[in-house]
A and B are shown apart, each in its own frame.
Chain A
Amino acid sequence: MPDIDWSLLMPQLVIVATLFIVLVFDMFDSISKKMHAWMTIVGSGIALWSSINLLNAGTDTIQFNDMFRIDSYSLFFNIIFLVSTILVALFSISYLGKDDKKQGPYYLLILLATLGMMLMAAGNELIIVFLGLELMSLSLYVLAGYFRESPASSEAGMKYLLLGAFASAFFLYGIALIYGATGTTSIPGIAEKLTTESQSPLLLAGIFLLIVGFGFKVAVVPFHQWAPDVYEGAPTTIAAFISAGPKAAGFAAFIRIFTEALPNLHTEWSGVIILIAMLTMTVGNVIAIAQTNIKRMLAYSSIAHAGYVLIGLAAANSDGKSSAMIYLFVYCVMNIGAFGAVILARTADGESLVISDYAGLGFRKPLLGGFLTLMLLSLAGFPPTAGFVGKFYIFKSAIGAELYLLVIVGAINTAISAFYYLRVVVTMYMREPEEELEFNPYPSTLVIGLVLAAIGILLIGILPSLLFNTAQNAVL
């Protein structure tokens, strides 16, 4: 029995325990299905609390035969995942409504996906990262197709499964090639090998395949095509979930592998990353302008945001790493918040997803209008919101690495993105509605979730040091 300090695994263990409790409770019909959501929230809350505790204690150890690394980097990402999970679970309570039978597996899969993400962030081994990736992805495939009766949802699930499976294959092949070149799958091990050995074509091919695999998972151009279809078809809560946590998890592993295992090949891969970053931001933002469906618009916007995060990776200095972490945190909160506001805009016929449905909403539904405006302004990067702080820090790290052109492209993209984010605000406040839509009353759990997200966005925007010190310590 190896020497394992179980207390360090608290966050993961709590999630596993919650998972089993939800599974067991689901067998009893007499228990209200709403309990599942609350159990998920409480379990994630405890895991969040223990992650924060471990982070404050300055934990940095490697467990399980050097396969599992618990450091401030992975703990910071745990916080991102768990905050996303809690927000999505809060939104799901009213979204799933009275459809009782469906709720058990739904929360189960969300918890499984969360566990997978935590594995990805903590993986000190390419194999662990792959395991986490698959655990997360498989849960998400099912979740994307969760509304079986809806053709769009089934299509989304199917598409996601097919393309995701491809991506996983690329990723695994990349791992195999890197193993072939270096003889190890351990992240520090690879880095060590690369300091002494010269690079081989095999290794470069492996790195390229890793980029393709991660590129699919975090949806960057040209591997982004699945995202809009999946976001549009999937249940809105799941679209929010997929756009946030899994993307952060993909980046957690992406950044860890490239900056810790392959720093010596920085000159080789940074060019590709810079190119992908520019393409991703530009394509994402430009296509988002043409969207009329708000979920598709948010999908393209989330593609563009992946491009901003890549700027931090391309910079590859300590600022770049911590700015990417901060950006992902901020992005998750504001993007889930934006989807939450979309969920709030429900009419008797279902969701209002066409942007023109939002005409006049700002005055008739001031709370909803306010939430959506705040989230969109933050996504567009206006101060004093968290989105501005995140973007500012990302750009700063890249200027520090002298990537001027990349930052200029990023900054111009910010201006482009303002156009479509503000267009929704224009519709809400400045256009008259063509027909009076009857909106459902606000569900209280949804409003609580949105209030939390809004407070987070403003607090980080006004007092960024709350987050900065943690993230900056995490990469030292």
Chain B
Amino acid sequence: MLLSIVIFLPLLGVIAIALFRSLGANTVKWIALGVGLLTFIISIRLYTEFEQDVAGFQIENSELYQKQDWVEGLGISYHIGIDGISLWLVLLTTFLTPICILAAWNSVEKGLSGFMMSLLALETGMLGVFCALDLFLFFVFWEAMLIPMYFLIGIWGGERRIYATIKFVLYTMAGSALMLVGILALYFQNDDNGFDLTTLLVKTSFDHSMLLFLAFFIAFAIKVPLFPFHTWLPDAHVEAPTVGSVILAGVLLKMGTYGIVRFCLPLFPEAAANATPWIVPLAIIGIIYGALVAMVQPDLKKLVAYSSVSHLGFVVLGLFSQNEAGIQGSVIQMINHGLSTGALFLLVGMIYERRHSRMIVDFGGLAKKMPIFATIFLIVTLSSIGLPFLNGFVGEFMILLGSFVGGAFSKWYVVFATSGVILAAVYMLWMYQRVMFGTLDSTNESLPDLNPREIAVLLPILLFIVWIGVFPKTFMDPMEKSVNEVVAKVKVKDTDDTPAEGQLILDEEGKGSVIMHVKSANLQSIEEEAQTK
């Protein structure tokens, strides 16, 4: 039940705002903030209820798992649950939403109630995507979430907002159209279990698994966005209001990488292994291309947007390394990127509200006038670059380590990917230098430093940036079992013809028997060969 409450509480907030919108802007803001904070506080209980020793979904705990028939005739159920991977993404979502509400406190000029309603409806959609264990339910949330985002960019965005919002929706819909076909095709291979993901995950093989893998992967690759599907991202980011960018970078992009680790890898491991040589180069192109393009951007927001392409390339690289370190690093990097890029967008938004410009050339020497701003900006910048003891380092290090040591691809790829870390330092520090140091422009003389509200928006993010950097164990431990589960599935099928000895030890009953089966089949064929001879 707890999980359902967390998912749908924001939707109740939407209804509350709709009912009380006539009471004025302040009431609407406080309702939104109250609902956002309450959702976050309740969601903390998800963490305390979470059993770290349980692999996979927490089926035993009725607070964290729920299954009810929804449309019986079609095999659709209301089926939700979390594991160590989705737990963190859920918490990231509930954490960022109240921050966004507070960040938008004074910046929305028209249609405030609509803005807050969209934001809260979006939260429900995102939480639903991370918790759904029924493919139909997943798709419902996946698509429904587009509508509030479409309004957020389209109504409250910048000058070219309409172009950006339509591009965003069409890209996503084009991808999800194929995913829908894939979902339906899986339904017919699920032995009368309807759209249940948990029974699909137990199955060992599917017909046309490569096509199914692609149907899902393309939808997720567009969302990530993986090069060359990234072109919607800079437009959407630049035109979106600050809060829209934060949610977009912080959570929406993670839905793509989450989809890969939840569906593509464990459902179609063979296809994923076969596709790895094609996908990894794309991820690396994304890392380097994103970084190079970010370097030459004159616009702060665009720079951060392209840095997202680069960072998400790392996450995809880690996921396809197909080993524990790489995938764990990717999951932690999803959180990191949500925090640090979210914070960067907030900071860019704050400076834009003061100066009404995002052009780097318009700034310089701000550190003298806005010391608090400059300090926070520096910490976030360093976190984004991956300085040790800040969060970015943990994720990137694990991804690179995992890919280098145990990656299912050439080590040379990792060497190229590592250059992305250096490039990140170049474009971020160069940007910081141009904005914060140098001579202060006379028009910037009067810029005020951050006010208490803005500091309150940023401080919680800083707390976690440092926490993850210094003591990542808090975050690693709950996800470890779940990640191992994914890795075990990938490895079992990866080596279908010649199962290694060691893998038998890794796996529990179900998968053990799979290997035995494969083995006996091999034996049989050997025997047959011997007989014919």
Contacts and interface: CB of A to CB of B under 8 A. Distances in A.
B161 A388 contact: no
Given A384-B144, A392-B136, A404 B74 contact: no
A430 B162 contact: yes
Contacts of B166: 419, 422-423, 426
Contacts of B165: 426, 430
Interface string B119-162: 00000000000000000100111011011001100110000011
Contact of A396 (B162, B169, B184): B184
A393 interface: yes
Contacts of B188: 399-400
Contacts of B173: 414-415, 418
Contact of A395 (B72, B140, B181): B181
A408 B181 contact: yes
A290 to B, nearest CB: 16
B184 A422 contact: no
Contacts of A419: 166, 170
At the interface, is chain B mostly helix, strand, loop or mixed? Answer: helix
A361 to B, nearest CB: 13
B180 interface: yes
Contacts of B181: 395, 399, 404, 407-408, 411
B174 interface: yes
Contacts of B452: none
Nearest to B70: A465
B170 A415 contact: yes
Nearest to A464: B71
A243 to B, nearest CB: 24
A147 interface: no
B110 interface: yes
A419 B167 CA distance: 9
A472 B73 contact: yes
Contacts of B177: 408, 411-412, 414-415
Interface in B25-79: 70-74
Contacts of B174: 412, 415
Interface in A435-473: 464-465, 468-469, 472
Interface residues of A, number: 32
B146 A382 contact: yes
Interface string A399-432: 1100010011001101100110011001001110
A429 B154 contact: yes
B460 interface: no
A378 to B, nearest CB: 11
- Size range of the interface on B? 35 or more
Contacts of A388: 140, 143
A125 to B, nearest CB: 32
Interface centre among A383, A400, A412, A414 (most CB of B within 10 A): A383
B187 interface: yes
A363 interface: yes
A400 B75 CA distance: 14
B73 A399 contact: no
B74 A363 contact: no
Contacts of A429: 151, 154-155
A160 to B, nearest CB: 34
Contacts of B150: 422
Contact of B74 (A407, A414, A468): A468
B71 A399 contact: no
B481 to A, nearest CB: 32
B185 interface: yes
B111 interface: yes
Interface in A54-106: none
Contacts of B169: 418, 422
B140 A363 contact: no
A404 B185 CA distance: 9
Contact of A465 (B71, B143, B176, B178): B71
Given A422-B169, A469-B73, A399 B185 contact: yes
Interface of A: 363, 377, 382-384, 388, 392-393, 395-396, 399-400, 404, 407-408, 411-412, 414-415, 418-419, 422-423, 426, 429-431, 464-465, 468-469, 472
Given A418-B169, A418-B170, 8 more contacts: A382-B146, A383-B143, A396-B187, A411-B178, A415-B177, A430-B161, A430-B162, A468-B73
25 contacts: A363-B110, A382-B143, A383-B139, A383-B144, A384-B144, A392-B180, A395-B184, A396-B187, A399-B181, A399-B184, A400-B188, A404-B181, A407-B184, A411-B177, A412-B178, A415-B174, A418-B169, A419-B166, A419-B170, A422-B169, A426-B166, A430-B154, A430-B155, A465-B72, A468-B71
Interface of B: 70-74, 110-111, 136, 139-141, 143-144, 146-147, 150-151, 154-155, 161-162, 165-166, 169-170, 173-174, 176-178, 180-181, 184-185, 187-188
Can you list the 9 inter-chain pairs with the closest CB atoms, starting with the nearest? A411-B177, A415-B173, A383-B140, A399-B184, A430-B154, A383-B144, A415-B174, A468-B73, A465-B71
